[in-house]
Structure 1
C-alpha cells in the first residue's frame, strides 16, 4: 500500500468515519453557517480535492465532504457495482443520518453525474430526501454526449480493464492527470504524490476499472440526468475550466445549447480542477450564486422542489 503523504495524513486526521448502509465512509465536515454545502468529488480521487477551498467554505457554510465509496479513505469493496444510483443512495442516506433537510450540492467530475441523479429522483418523488436548494457544477459530464474520455478511461472500461487497473504505471497515471490541468496551472508540488497515494490507498487500483465505467453508464442515463436541468428544477451554475480536454469549453458550449439561458462561469486557461487551479475565482463564482439563493429561514427548510 502506498504510504500517505503528510498532506493526506492531515486531511484524514481532520475527518472521521461513519457507517452508512453497511459501508464505512470517510467524511470531512466543518463550519456552522446557515447553509449546508454537500461537496461531491470526482474520479479517481477523494474529498481531498476540496482542500484548497476548505477553510474559505467552512468560514461561511456548514460543509460536508464524503469520500465516495471505492475512493479515498472510504471502503473499497471489490464486489460492489459502483453505479451512479449506488453513490446517490449513500449520499442521501448520509444526509439523512446527519439530519440535513436542505443543502446546496457542489459537485465535480463523477460527482456532477451523482448530483444530477440525486436531483432526478427528487423530480420523481419530491419527498425523497433532503431538499436540494441549488447545484454548483464544476467540470464534469453535465451533457454526457459531449464528454471526451481519455484513452486510459477507454482501456479501463474494456475487457482488459480488470487486468490493467491493478497494473497502471505511476508515470501513465501522472501523465494523464497532468494533461487535464491547464497549461499554466499544472499540478503544484506534491499534488501528484497525493493523488497517487489516494488511488492506491486500500488497494484502490484493483477496483479502478469498476469505478471508471461510470461514463458509459452515464450515457445510458443521459435523458434522466439532463431533463431536470432543462426543466430548471433548481437553480444551477456551471463553473467551467475551459482548457479541460475532458469537459471544458466544448461541454459548456453543449450545455448552453441544451439548457436555455444557462448560467455558466467560464474560467479561461483553467483545466479540469477549478477548485485547485483557480480557487479564488471558483470561490467568487460559488459565493455569489449560493448567496443569491437565500437561506432556509427565508424559504422554508421543508419546502419541496416544484415540478
Structure 2
C-alpha cells in the first residue's frame, strides 16, 4: 500500500469511528488561550531514565529520577509515564520520582494471562515498589490513574503518605459517560484502530485527541505522539491489552470504595481543570468529600483533563505544599 492510500485509509478510519468519540469532547471544551508550554525533559532524556522491573505481573517499565522519599506518578489512559516529565524536572530535588507504565500501556510487557483490570494495576504497583525497595509513597495521579490510586490506598493504606489527585475517576463517575463510545469500541477490539493514522498524520492526532484533553494541543509534539502511541500497536496481543484496559472499567471498579477512602489518614489534595469535557464538574467536590483527611479542591480555569502535562509548575507547587504540611 502506498503512502497516499494509507493516509486515505487512516482518514476514513478516523472519520468513521474513533475520532468521532473525541469530537464532542473537543467541541464542548473551552481552551486556555495564550498558555506558554512548560519546559520538559525531552523523549531522549526521558527514555534514558526508563528501566524495567521483572515481577509476576510482567516486565514493568518505569522511569525514575531523584533521591529521597519516593513519589509515585500514575498516568492517564492511553498514554504512559512520559506524561510526568515536567514534574520530574521540578520535583526530583526533593523526591525519588517514579513513573511506571501501567499494565497494558506504554512500554510495560504484561505476563501471559495477566489481568490488566484496575485492581490488578494496584497490586502490580505494590509489587513494583517491593522490587524497588520502597515502603511508602506520595501518590500523584491523573485520569484513570486516579481510579488506580484510590484502589491502591484502599488496599495498602500504610504505603501512602499523601495523595495529589487531578481530573479523573471517582466512585459516582467511573467510567464517565463521555467514554461510553470508546468503551464500546474496546468491546469490539477496535479502540486502537486510529493510532496508526495518528502516527502517520500527527496534525490529526493533535486536532482530535490533543484537542479533547489538552488546553493547548501543541504540547502533543511529534515525538510525544510517537512515544505514546507506537508501543500500543507493536503487536496484535498488545492492541488487545489496550482494549482490555478499557473493558475492565465496566462494571465500575470503584463501586463500594467509600468506607475505605473515608478511613484514609493520608492527606489528600484535589486539583481540577474546569474545562474538562470527560469527567463530571461535580467530581472534584465528591472526591474531596470521600476522603477522611481532605485538603480541599483547587480549580484551574481553562485546563482540560490531561492538564498535569501542560502545567507541571502547578503540580510542583501543590505537591511541595502537601508534602511539607
Classify the TM-score, shorter chain.
0.7 to 0.9
Give the Å deviation of 1:248: 5.9
1:72 and 1:198 in contact (8 A); partners too: yes
| Cα distance change of structure 1 residues 167 and 116 upon mapping to structure 2, 3 Å threshold | same
SS at match of 1:53: helix
SS at match of 1:167: coil
Q: Which residue of 1 aligns with 2:131?
A: 97
Asked whether 1:137 is paired with 2:165, we answer: yes
SS at match of 1:135: strand
Candidates 28, 31, 37, aligned match of 2:66:
31
SS at match of 1:222: coil
| Cα distance change of structure 1 residues 116 and 199 upon mapping to structure 2, 3 Å threshold | same
RMSD over equivalenced CA pairs, Å: 2.7
Candidates 117, 120, 124, aligned match of 2:151:
117
Q: Which residue of 2 aligns with 1:45?
A: 79
Candidates 191, 214, 218, aligned match of 1:165:
191
Asked whether 1:271 is paired with 2:299, we answer: no
2:136 and 2:161 in contact (8 A); partners too: yes
SS at match of 2:86: coil
Asked whether 1:287 is paired with 2:320, we answer: yes
1:255 and 1:262 in contact (8 A); partners too: no
Give the Å deviation of 1:19: 0.2
Give the Å deviation of 1:22: 5.2
2 CA distance for matches of 1:77 and 1:176?
A: 29
Asked whether 1:213 is paired with 2:247, we answer: yes
| Cα distance change of structure 1 residues 27 and 255 upon mapping to structure 2, 3 Å threshold | closer
Q: Which residue of 1 aligns with 2:287?
A: 255
Q: Which residue of 2 aligns with 1:244?
A: 276
1 CA distance for matches of 2:44 and 2:235?
A: 14
| Cα distance change of structure 1 residues 276 and 269 upon mapping to structure 2, 3 Å threshold | same
| Cα distance change of structure 1 residues 104 and 67 upon mapping to structure 2, 3 Å threshold | same
Give the TM-score normalised by the residue count of structure 2.
Answer: 0.74
2 CA distance for matches of 1:195 and 1:117?
A: 25
1 CA distance for matches of 2:75 and 2:173?
A: 21
Show the 5 A alignment for 1:177-188: 177-182=210-215, 185-188=216-219
SS at match of 1:38: strand
139-148 or 37-46, which moves further after superposition? Answer: 139-148
Q: Which residue of 2 aligns with 1:196?
A: 229
Q: Which residue of 2 aligns with 1:60?
A: 94
2:60 and 2:128 in contact (8 A); partners too: no
SS at match of 2:256: helix
SS at match of 1:249: coil
Asked whether 1:80 is paired with 2:86, we answer: no
Q: Which runs of 5+ in 2 are unaligned?
A: 1-40, 199-203
| Cα distance change of structure 1 residues 289 and 209 upon mapping to structure 2, 3 Å threshold | same
Q: Which runs of 5+ in 1 are unaligned?
A: 1-5, 293-307
Deviation by residue 1:176-221 (Cα, 9 ceiling, x = unmatched): 3421222xx224233434433243345543322111124324x253
Q: Which residue of 1 aligns with 2:267?
A: 235
Deviation by residue 1:263-282 (Cα, 9 ceiling, x = unmatched): 11111111112221212122
Structure 1 stretches of at least 4 aligned residues deviating more than 6 Å after TM superposition: none
2 CA distance for matches of 1:19 and 1:280?
A: 33
